[in-house]
Amino acid sequence: MEEPQVYRTKTTVSGPKLDLDEDEALFGVDRLLADADIGTRLLYQTLIPFITLETLRVTHGTEDRPLILEILKMSVDRAQLAYRITPEPTRKLRAVRT
């Protein structure tokens, strides 16, 4: 396996179906994967539009320890984020003797 090649490119008329206009900017990442045992090589390509927005949300638990990382990626012109946060009332813990 070779190191990924990262580059800038643009959409074309006959290019991948990203629902974008022609000549819109993209990040491209190409990876060459190979299986030496069977002699197979594979080119894996990822295209990421510049207009993609990335939103991160971290949920913390007790002692401010991170529990969950959520990553949302979508086009800026289609983004509308709203989070309803309803904390539960703090319960009082009591010792139970058996």
Contact 72, 48 (CB under 8 A): no
Instruction: Locate 92 and state its tokens.
Output: 């009082």
Tell me the whole-structure pTM to 2 decimals.
Answer: 0.50
The model's pLDDT over 2-54, given as tens digits with 9 standing for 90+, comes to 788 989 999 887 666 777 888 888 888 998 988 888 888 888 888 888 776 77
User: What is the C-alpha to C-alpha distance for residues 27 and 47, in angstroms, rounded to an integer?
Assistant: 6
Rounded (10°) CA dihedral 22, 23, 24, 29: 110
Contact 87, 67 (CB under 8 A): no
The model's pLDDT over 59-86, given as tens digits with 9 standing for 90+, comes to 888 888 899 988 877 766 666 666 666 6
Nearest-5° Cα angle at 91, 89 to 96: 170
